[in-house]
Amino acid sequence: MDSEIILGRMKKHLRESSTDLASTSSTQSSEFYQSQQFLDSELEKIFQKMPLPVGHSAQLEKPGDYITRCDFGLPLIILRNREGALEVFANQCRHRGSKLVTETTGHFQSISCPYHGWTYDLKGQLVGAPHRECFEHLNSGQINLLKYSVAEINGLIWMKYQPQASSLSGFSDEIRGHLGELALDIAQFKLQDLKCLETEEKEVKANWKILIEGFLEGYHIPVGHRKTFGPAVIPYTFLHDPIGLHSRSAYPLRKILPLIEKSAPVEQMISGVSFVYHIFPNVIIAVEPYQFSFVQLVPIEVDRTLSRTITIANLRSLQYPEKFQMEREHLKKGLQEDYSIGESIQSNLKSGRKFSLEFGLMEGMITHFHRAIGSII
C-alpha cells in the first residue's frame, strides 16, 4: 500500500464529492444464500482446499500455549511447541477417540487424554500410555496425533483443513501465493508486534456470505450506522480496490479534513483513514486508529455462521484508554448492527419466494467477491 497514492485518490474524491464506482452493477439469486448444495461446494472447493487465517500469533505467546477450534465440525488443537513453532493437531486421542481438551484456551506441559491417560508431547508424539505392554502394535513413533499444515506469517496464524501434506516452507509459499500483492499491505501493519486483547465468539443466524458483504461496501454506512460509524465517516467518498481474490476498502474519517488543510505529514494524515481488508474467503481485518479487528466468519449451516472477533492493538494505543474504549464500543455496536441486518435478510430469504438481490456501482467489491467464488465453484 502506497499511502501517498491512497491519500491522493482520497483528496481528489473529497474535492469532487465523488467516490470509487464499479464498471457495472450486478444481481445475485436468493438461492446463492440458501442452497445446501451450494454450501457443500463452498466447503469442499474453498474452505477445505485453501489456506485460511485462523488467529493471531499473540494468542499463543509462550511455548505450551494453546487454543482450540471446532470449525467445520473438525475439533483441533493449535499450540506453540517448546521450540516456539506452531502445531495443529486433531483434538482426538489415538487410543479410543476421546477429545483431549475441552477448554478453549490454556497452557500445556504435555497433552494427556482424560479417558485413559495416554500422553503426547507438544509435537504430537505419543510419550506415555498406562500398561503399554498390553498393546501389541503400540511401537514408539508409530501412533501420534494427526497433524495439519500450519504457518505463521506477519502475525497471522494460517492453516489448512486437511491433514498435513506439505512442508512448512511449501505451505508458506502457498499462503504467499494465495495473498499475492495483498501480502505487502499486511506486512506494513506489523501485526506480529501487536497484542491480543480480546476474543469474542457468537453465532449469527445468516449465511456467511451475507455477513461478508456487509464489510465490502460503505454505501450503507450513513443510514445503517447513523449512531455508530456514520458520524465519524465522510459519506460516499470511498476507495475500493480488488486485489486478486481479495479486496481493500478505505474510508475517510472526518478527522482527516483538518489534517489535509494544514498539509500534515503523510504518516499523520493516513491515521484519518479507516481500512477494511477482505482476505478471501472469510476473514476481515478492520484497521482503525487505535486497534485492529480480525473477524473470521465460519459457516455452520446455510443460515448459521460463527463470528469470531479478535481485537489486537499495540501498547501505545492503550495509553489513550478513553479513545481506545470509545472506538471499541463503536466497533462492537457497528458489528451488531450489521449482523442484525444480515439476520433480517436471511429471515426474508426463507419466505420461499425466489428473487434477485441488486448490487450497485458503489457495491463493486461485493460483485468482485461473487465472481471470486464463481471462479472456483
Residues 153, 57: Cα–Cα separation, whole Å:
9
**pLDDT band for position 140 (50/70/90)?**
low
Domains 3-48+195-376 and 52-185 share a fold: no
Tell me the sheet residues that pair with 285: 277, 294
Question: Domain 52-185 is of which CATH architecture?
Answer: 3-layer Sandwich (2.102)
Contacts within 8 Å (CB) and 24+ apart, 253-260? 253/289, 256/10, 257/14, 260/11, 260/14
Taking domain 3-48+195-376, whether its CATH number is 3.90.380.10 is answered by yes
Question: Which pLDDT value is given to residue 141?
Answer: 63
DSSP 290: S
pTM: 0.95
Write down the pLDDT at residue 1: 76
Residue 139 has pLDDT above 90, yes or no: no
Mean pLDDT, range 233-262, rounded to an integer: 97
Tens of pLDDT, residue by residue over 282-320, are 999 999 988 999 999 999 999 999 999 999 998 778 888
Q: How far apart are CA 39 and CA 227, in angstroms?
A: 34
Residue 87 has pLDDT above 80, yes or no: yes
| The total number of residues written for the chain in this structure | 377
> Of 13-17, 89-93, 138-142, 186-190, which gets the smallest average pLDDT?
138-142
Instruction: Give per-residue pLDDT as tens, 362-377.
Output: 999 999 999 999 999 9
3-class SS letters over 218-246: CCCHHHHCCCCCHHHECCCCCEEEEECCE
pLDDT digit string, tens, across residues 162-221: 887 667 778 999 999 999 999 999 999 999 999 999 999 999 999 999 999 999 999 999
Scan for cell 521450540, then name that residue.
83
Domain boundaries, the chain: 3-48+195-376, 52-185
What's the average model confidence in pLDDT over 69-88? 96
Q: How much is the pLDDT for 162?
A: 85
